[in-house]
Structures are given as C-alpha cells and as structure tokens.
Structure 1
Amino acid sequence: MSNPVLHAFFLGRAFAEVVGEKVEESLTNAVSDLGKFDAEQRENLRQFIEEVQTRAERDVTQGNTSTTTTSTTDNGSPTDLQETIDDLRAEIARMKAELKNYRDQNA
C-alpha cells in the first residue's frame, strides 16, 4: 500500500470491526451470565419455598400428633408450646436472613 491515507482508512475500519465484535461478544456473554444468574436465583427461591412448605406441613402433622399426646399429660403442654414458639421464632429468623441475602444479591 503506497497511499498512507488509504492504509489508515483500512486500518481504522479493521480496528472498528474488531472492537465492535469484541463489544458484541462481551455484551452477549454478560447477558447470558445474567440470564443464568436469574435462573439460578429463581431455582434457589423455588427450592427455598418448597422446603418451607415441606417443613410447615411436617410441623402441622407433628403438631397434631403432639397435641393429641400432650393433652393427656398435664405438665407436657406448656413446655411443648414454648418449644414450638421458640422453633417458629428461629425459623422466622432464618427466613429473614435468607430473604436479606436474596435481596442483597439482586440489588
């Protein structure tokens, strides 16, 4: 190439094409990673909800059983009730922490 202006033009055009391709590739990867992250978080949330529902159902079943058995004993009910309240408070604290982590990750 004997003409430096023509050489600079083709060099600039090639540079712009390469930069455009790299930006497009980076943007595509970023959007893909964001989609994967969103899908993972939705799956984690679904599993969390499923676990909470399973535990709630289990506790309801155990609660019905323990109510039946403790109604026959005079001193058993208050202790079981307090233990249930403490367990519920601990579960609420765990759920709050999990929700805070989820919100912090999506912020």
Structure 2
Amino acid sequence: MSNPVLHAFFLGRAFAEVLSEKVEESLTEALSELGKFDAEQRENLRQFIEEVQLRAEREATQGNATTTTTTTTADNGSSVDLQETIDDLRAEIARLKAELKNYRNTKA
C-alpha cells in the first residue's frame, strides 16, 4: 500500500466496521440486561401479589372464625371497622391494578 489515500480508505473502512460491531455488541448487551431486569421485576411483582393474596386468604380464614363474634358485638362498632377494612383493601387493590396497568402500558 504505497498510496496513502488508498491506505486511509481501508483504515477508515476497517475502523467503521469494528466500531459498528462494538456498538452492536454493546446495544445487544444493554437490551439483554434490560430484558433480564424487566423479567426480574415482573417476577418480583408476581411474587409480591402472590404473597399479598396468601396473606389476605389467611386473614380471611382467620376472620371467618371471628366474624360471628364481630357481627354479634356490633354495639361497640367492630362490624363497622371490619367493613371499613374491607373497603380500604378494595381501594388498595384497585390502586395496585391501576399502577400495574400503567406499568404494563409503559413497557409495551
């Protein structure tokens, strides 16, 4: 390669190819990590929801045993507290569903 222009052309072309490969590798790695992160977050959210549901079922089971006591003692307002708790839980579930829907829409 005695011609410096020709040498510069091939050098520039090799530089562009190597740079393109490195950018492609970096982008692929970044997207892979993003996919892993997304999958981990979805799994964490699934586990969280499962734990909440298990606790709610456990408390509901325990609550069924005490419901008769609670409703019979309505004089002191225990029944009202139970209904308020149920309403609060329903509101919280609705809020979580809205956040989950928003999260899924932003990831789509």
Q: Normalising by structure 2, report the TM-score.
A: 0.71
Q: Contact 2:71/2:78 (CA < 8 Å) preserved in 1?
A: yes
The Cα of 1:51 is off from its aligned counterpart by: 2.2
Q: 2:28 maps to what in 1?
A: 28
Q: 1:68 maps to what in 2?
A: 68
Q: 1:82 maps to what in 2?
A: 83
1:29-87, Cα deviation, whole Å (9 max, x unpaired): 22212222222222122122212212321231232022132244343564244223323
Cα distance change, pair 55–90 in 1 and its aligned pair in 2 (3 A): farther
Distance 1:55 1:90 in 2: 17
Q: 1:98 maps to what in 2?
A: 99
The Cα of 1:9 is off from its aligned counterpart by: 3.0
The Cα of 1:94 is off from its aligned counterpart by: 3.7
Deviates more, 1:71-80 or 1:32-41: 71-80
For structure 2, the residue ranges without an aligned partner over 5 or more in a row are: none
**How many pairs are equivalent?**
107
1:7 pairs with 2:36:
no
Alignment identity in percent?
82
Q: Contact 2:70/2:79 (CA < 8 Å) preserved in 1?
A: no
For structure 1, the residue ranges without an aligned partner over 5 or more in a row are: none
Aligned-partner SS, 1:2: coil
Distance 1:57 1:23 in 2: 50
Q: Which has the higher contact order (CA 8 A, sep 6+)?
A: 1
Q: Normalising by structure 1, report the TM-score.
A: 0.72
